Amino acid sequence: MKEWLSGRWGRFRRRADWLNLCLALGLSGLSVLCIYATYLAGYCKDRPYQIQALATGLGVCAIVIMVSFFDYESLAGLWRFYYPLVALVMLWTAFFGDTRPGSDNRSWLDLGVTSVQPSEIWKIAFILTFAWHLAKVREDLNHPRVLIPVLINAGIGVGVVLLQRDTGVALVMAAIAVVMLFVAGLSRKFILGAVGGAAVLAPVVWFRFLSYFQRERILSIFSPQNSQDFEAVAFQQLAGLDSLGSGQIFGIGLFADNHNYVPEMYNDFIFTFIGESLGFLGCAAVVLVLSILCGRILWTGAASRSYTGKYICAGVFAMLAFQIIVNIGMCLMVLPVIGVTLPFLSYGGTSVLSAYISLGLVMLVYGGDKKSMFGE
């Protein structure tokens, strides 16, 4: 038994992407410190920093288990078992799940001792399933008889989330599908057709599917003169900008006693707290670390010998990069607030665990193709 465990640990040490793991742990460490600071300042309760630290530990354990015992081809091939199961949980949540104060998203499942957000696990299940599907049909992807089932698969991935009225995660799912299709070689004519179709449907979505509050959030960014409740709708972002600006170059310190209050400053708007605490240099460092992490994911996918591996990396990259861009755009008030977290930094047990599992998937590709990348 001891020799077997030693062999598993040796496999992990050989196959792990230690740089990306260290970058993720550095971001998580900063996250715990920031959330702890907001707790001490009285801006959050129930000691969320403990949950964040626990989720980070579970995420690292998940990576160790994944890299030590599994390979990505086998995991993707098991989609028939986990994909329908997660889909059923998503549907159950859409009809019987819980909402959160200030939101009408029915995307939370109460387990008694804690609550989880199944859509975070749905992202992982979709990336694996869609990668397997694309790898099987890539040579005939641009034939309508093949493309239509692929698009139906993508539509299910987005549609199930929309049933929960979670626009933010639905957009993340759409970004994942689009990037994976692009990497798989979808024809330019279909891409242009999709853009045209989206433009035609935009007015329908605006008037029939977006709530008044969602429309006001968009108007407050792109057309503030036409917003009827600008001050109320944009309060969070305006407070975030004040917080970011007050940090200047070096910040006022994590544990200063004069932090500005920003709603959700330990969650979706944690970037504003980082800016106020650590200044422009702190924000620049966070963006640099996130960029390196995403860049290595792209590099791992490009070096993979397997199309399944390439598509998995493309999906994980799209998920993380889209969330990073949108979240920071929200904090800088250049994009509307849609409830998208900043990976590894925003508070949330399920979202942190999802980010680490997605990183684990990339490490499976990295470790499985290490011989071709480094000649080992």
Residue pLDDT, tens place only, 340-362: 999 999 998 899 999 999 999 99
pLDDT at residue 233, rounded to an integer: 75
pLDDT at residue 125, rounded to an integer: 96
**Would you say how long the chain is, in residues?**
376
Mean pLDDT, rounded, for 3-32: 88
pLDDT at residue 376, rounded to an integer: 39
Q: Are 356 and 27 in contact (CB under 8 A)?
A: no
Mean pLDDT, rounded, for 79-85: 93
Q: Are 92 and 40 in contact (CB under 8 A)?
A: no
209-235 per-position pLDDT tens digit: 777 777 778 877 877 766 677 777 788
DSSP letters spanning 284-332 = HHHHHHHHHHHHHHHHHHHH-SSHHHHHHHHHHHHHHHHHHHHHHHHHT
Encode burial over 285-297: b for 16+ CB neighbours within 10 A, e otherwise: ebeebbeebbebb
The token pair at 168 is 């933010």
The token pair at 11 is 């496999």
Phi, psi of 110 (to 5 degrees): -85, 120
CA distance 350 to 267: 13
H/E element, 212: helix 212-222
First CA to last CA distance, the chain: 28
The token pair at 306 is 């397997």
pLDDT band at 47 (very low <50, low <70, confident <90, very high): confident
Whole-number mean pLDDT of the chain? 89
pTM above 0.75, yes or no: yes
pLDDT band at 365 (very low <50, low <70, confident <90, very high): very high
101-125 per-position pLDDT tens digit: 666 778 888 887 778 899 999 999 9
pLDDT at residue 375, rounded to an integer: 37
CA distance 79 to 85: 10
Instruction: Say which amino acid occupies 199.
Output: A
CA distance 219 to 210: 12
pLDDT at residue 109, rounded to an integer: 87
Phi-psi region of 191 (alpha: psi -120 to 50; beta: other; left: phi over 0): alpha
Q: Are 236 and 102 in contact (CB under 8 A)?
A: no
How far out from the chain centre does Cα 196 lie? 27
pLDDT at residue 370, rounded to an integer: 53
Assess whether pLDDT exceeds 50 at residue 372.
Answer: no
Between 3 and 29, the more confident residue is: 29
3-state secondary structure of 372: helix
- 220: Cβ–Cβ under 8 A, 6 or more apart, which residues? 227, 230, 233, 234, 237, 336
Could you tell me which residues are beta bridge partners of residue 196? none
CA distance 219 to 350: 31
pLDDT at residue 226, rounded to an integer: 67
pLDDT at residue 103, rounded to an integer: 67
CA distance 265 to 327: 12
pLDDT at residue 128, rounded to an integer: 96
Helix axes 79-96, 118-137, angle to 10 degrees: 140
261-317 per-position pLDDT tens digit: 888 899 999 999 999 999 999 999 999 999 999 999 999 999 999 999 999 999 999
pLDDT at residue 100, rounded to an integer: 75
Assess whether pLDDT exceeds 70 at residue 374.
Answer: no
CA distance 163 to 93: 9
pLDDT at residue 124, rounded to an integer: 96
CA distance 77 to 132: 7
pLDDT band at 373 (very low <50, low <70, confident <90, very high): very low
232-264 per-position pLDDT tens digit: 778 888 888 999 989 899 999 999 888 888 888
The token pair at 147 is 């493309």
Assess whether pLDDT exceeds 50 at residue 182.
Answer: yes
Place of tokens 């709530």: 211
